[in-house]
Amino acid sequence: MNGIRLFFLRIYAVAFKEALHVRRDVQTMIMALVMPVVLVLLFGFGVSFDLDHLAIAVADQDHTPASRAVAHALETSSDLRLVGGLDSAADAEQAFHRGDAVGVLVVPRGFAAKLARGEPSDVQLLVAGSDGSTAIQVLAKAEAVIGASAARFAAPGASVSLPISVATYIRYNPEGRSALMIVPGLVAYILAIIAVLLTALAIAREWERGSMEQLFCTPVGRVEIVVGKLLPYLVLGVIAVLLVLAAGAWVFDVPFRGDLWTLAAAAVLFLIGMLGQGLVISVLARNQMIATQAGVLSSMLPSMLLSGFLFPVENLPTPLRIFSNLVPARHFIAALRGVLLRGNGFAELSGELLALAAFAATMLLIAALRFRRRLD
């Protein structure tokens, strides 16, 4: 019993010492508590996949009230912006070259006459495909506007409906807002970078200043040093999670539909894993500049490209998709979106929690094994 009591007393002593350092270090406090909120707000407003006021030109070759009604339907849409008329479809390429429009609607001759006879009349939409995501949204939005206005253009008595009626319901994000997809990913992305840098820089700074030598003069073991130094930053990380989630809910209306304890478990396991990764970097580097570079590269790139933050993991090549299972941000983002948007709990997210727990245990084990009570 005395051995266990001494073990926890030593952890407490190291944690208390580290907490005093953190409290006196204004830069660490700003990095841990202010930067995550600022970055969430900055990226939350700056990064959006919602495109509106897309520039559309019209090549009206019919010059009838019906053809002008098509152009007016586009003009009244909040997502599309009519930028002018073209003489013919041949002028579309020049409009794309100049950047005047991302789409050109071509209304052919005889459009109104066919409508009056109750015959199908096609319109052509030319889209600049240099930006694939913009092109897809132009096609979808223009098709929706023309489809909604089809009944007004049809001749009296003509049928514009299909024999099958399709009703579409969008779950979890019916308004299609980018913020509901981006903000949970931002939380994981930003916390991954901040958590790694917190421990990587703090411990590397002690190696450089020589204060680690004083710690080696005590009977504290390497496991006690690793755990004791991690605990204060874990508390800071938990506070940072609460702050960024509160900012997301208040500013971007991100809902909370799932189980609180599932989210708490995922957040704590994720933070332990990323803080442990920072400890491993600091033990290996022992230099703040190298620790900064290694921390940013090892946390920023995988958390952005291989986590599902911006791109679906399913779209990755098979080798990268397999490797992405080792990226903790992937599992934390899945847990965040599951709890916040879909209302998931432990049953649905047990696999993500196990993956986060395995990563956290691995990082702490490596940090403890690589930590040596010597200065060379």
Q: How far is CA 136 from CA 49, 147, 293, in A?
A: 12, 16, 38
Express each pLDDT in 13-24 by its tens digit: 888 888 888 888
Mean pLDDT of 100-123: 79
Mean pLDDT of 308-335: 89
C-alpha–C-alpha distance, residues 249 and 315, integer Å: 29
CB 126, CB 106: distance < 8 Å: yes
C-alpha–C-alpha distance, residues 82 and 55, integer Å: 6
Domains observed in the chain: 8-47+177-370 (no CATH), 54-153 (3.40.1710.10)
Q: Quote the longest CA-to-CA distance of the chain.
A: 97
DSSP 325: G
Max mean pLDDT among 25-34, 63-72, 187-196, 282-291 falls in 187-196
| Pair of tokens at residue 270 | 């994720």
Express each pLDDT in 139-188 by its tens digit: 777 777 776 665 565 555 555 444 444 455 566 776 667 778 788 888 99
Mean pLDDT of 348-352: 93
C-alpha–C-alpha distance, residues 350 and 363, integer Å: 20
Answer whether residue 230 shows pLDDT above 70: yes
Answer whether residue 97 shows pLDDT above 90: no
pLDDT at position 116, please? 74
Express each pLDDT in 262-274 by its tens digit: 999 999 999 999 9
Answer whether residue 120 shows pLDDT above 80: no
C-alpha–C-alpha distance, residues 119 and 154, integer Å: 9
Residues in the chain: 376
